[in-house]
Amino acid sequence: MNNEIIRIGHGSGGRLSRELINDIFLRYFNNATLKQLNDAASLSVQKGRIAFTTDSYVIDPIFFPGGDIGQLAVSGTVNDLCVSGAIPKFLSAGFIIEEGFSLINLEKIVASMAREAKKAGVEIVTGDTKVVRRGQVDKIFINTSGIGIIPEDRFHLSEKLDPAPGDKIIITGTLGDHSIAILSAREKIPLDEIILSDAEPLTDLVNNVLRKPEEVLFMRDITRGGLATVLVEICENLKFGIEIKEADIPVFQSVKSVCELYGFDPLYLANEGKIVMIVKTGSEQRILDRIKSYDPGNRAAIIGEITIEHPSKVVIKSIIGGRRVVDMLSGEMLPRIC
């Protein structure tokens, strides 16, 4: 396979398609459901509600410090299920591949997806491959859809948010790692310290936090638009406000340095392995301890709280003591980040 590339015939549905399925996809995504190669996967799920999500990944570059497009495609969709309170179960994987793409690189991506799926406890049970001519797509795009089961005691996480003044805001780690990892790879920025993407499935971390789901009022993964956009979206329909403290928000110094160079604000940078939570006052330290017991959460922090002041607005208290209103991201800070 050393010099082999994707050809138009790999998307024809004929012999080359079957060889691609057998040699790469079935080899890595091996499970009883997928091996049937039916037009639709037949799945058994327990009684209750399901969560269903889908996302497409067009990131550039496709290999970056700390991950690749395959790892991102699995962890991004898994985490969307997790923050809805669901236990992720099944994924689909759809590939749109440019003619001439390296089969070695495709195998690396598929192997990465298989590793992340195993880590997250999910099975990739159905998929599709399309091949287009050179220039009609940039190397490879991936779509993943996911199904998860929402236990009855977690239904509230997908219902209307109803926090009270004093409830605390927690984030599970440092901001901006993914965005700056992609930027450094794309622009070949020389860095004193390599910044790695935080793309990672957070199934175990979330399940540990939700051992007492009644203590957690809200969860959202902090992806495009960053922390600021998520908090503003939360506040739009609240009768209360949110106040956060800049000094309490964890950001690696290396990320801060790149932000200063390019004029970025870490509050608006995309992440792929970080969650913001609203938790009941009095439970914040217990929840923080649960998060920190997992490596992806070892820099988690309480960064603010729900307040009766400035209803429907997010305000940040700066390190020097001033306050300003935080707005939603306007425009695209860094395109093709996921």
CATH of the domain at 117: 3.30.1330.10
User: Do 202 and 141 belong together in one domain?
Assistant: no
- What is the rounded average pLDDT of the residues 14-35? 93
On whether residue 147 sits in a domain, the answer given is yes
- If you compute the radius of gyration of the chain from its CA atoms, what whole number of angstroms results? 21
On whether residue 2 sits in a domain, the answer given is no
Better-scored residue on pLDDT, 3 or 165: 165
- What is the rounded average pLDDT of the residues 294-322? 93
Whole-angstrom distance, CA of residue 338 vs CA of residue 328? 19
Sign of CA dihedral 192, 195, 196, 202: positive
Task: Give the whole-number percent of the chain exceeding pLDDT 90.
Answer: 82
**Sheet (strand 323-326) strand order:** 216-221, 275-279, 168-171, 301-307, 241-245, 314-317, 323-326
User: Do 321 and 285 belong together in one domain?
Assistant: yes
**pLDDT at site 159:** 78
If we measure between CA atoms, which residue out of 226, 142, 244 comes closest to residue 179? 226
Q: Which one of 132, 155, 178 terminates a domain? A: 155
Q: What tens digit of pLDDT does each residue of 191-222 get?
A: 878 899 999 999 999 999 999 999 999 999 99
Residue 183: pLDDT band by 50, 70, 90 thresholds?
Answer: very high
Is residue 129's pLDDT more than 60? yes
Q: Parallel, antiparallel, or unpaired: how do β-strands 168-171 and 216-221 relate?
A: unpaired
On whether residue 333 sits in a domain, the answer given is no
Q: Which one of 136, 155, 174 terminates a domain? A: 155
User: Do 273 and 260 belong together in one domain?
Assistant: yes
User: Do 315 and 290 belong together in one domain?
Assistant: yes
**pLDDT at site 1:** 54
Token pair 């009768």 is at which residue? 239
CA angle, corner 147, sides to 144 and 151, nearest 5?
Answer: 150
- CATH number of the CATH domain containing 235: 3.90.650.10
Q: Which one of 126, 155, 184 terminates a domain? A: 155
User: Do 315 and 186 belong together in one domain?
Assistant: yes
On whether residue 335 sits in a domain, the answer given is no
Residue 186 has which token pair?
């794309």
On whether residue 303 sits in a domain, the answer given is yes
Mean pLDDT rounded to a whole number for the chain: 93
On whether residue 336 sits in a domain, the answer given is no
User: Do 167 and 233 belong together in one domain?
Assistant: yes
**pLDDT at site 65:** 95
User: Do 282 and 265 belong together in one domain?
Assistant: yes
Is residue 260's pLDDT more than 70? yes
Is residue 2's pLDDT more than 60? no
User: Do 266 and 232 belong together in one domain?
Assistant: yes
Is residue 91's pLDDT more than 90? yes
Task: Give the whole-number percent of the chain exceeding pLDDT 70.
Answer: 99
Is residue 256's pLDDT more than 70? yes
User: Do 29 and 151 belong together in one domain?
Assistant: yes
- What is the rounded average pLDDT of the residues 137-150? 97
Whole-angstrom distance, CA of residue 81 vs CA of residue 210? 14
Is residue 28's pLDDT more than 70? yes
Per the structure, the complete domain to which residue 149 belongs is given by 8-155
User: Do 148 and 199 belong together in one domain?
Assistant: no
User: Do 68 and 177 belong together in one domain?
Assistant: no
On whether residue 331 sits in a domain, the answer given is no
User: Do 180 and 111 belong together in one domain?
Assistant: no
**pLDDT at site 335:** 85
Count structural domains, the chain: 2
**pLDDT at site 111:** 98
Is residue 9's pLDDT more than 60? yes
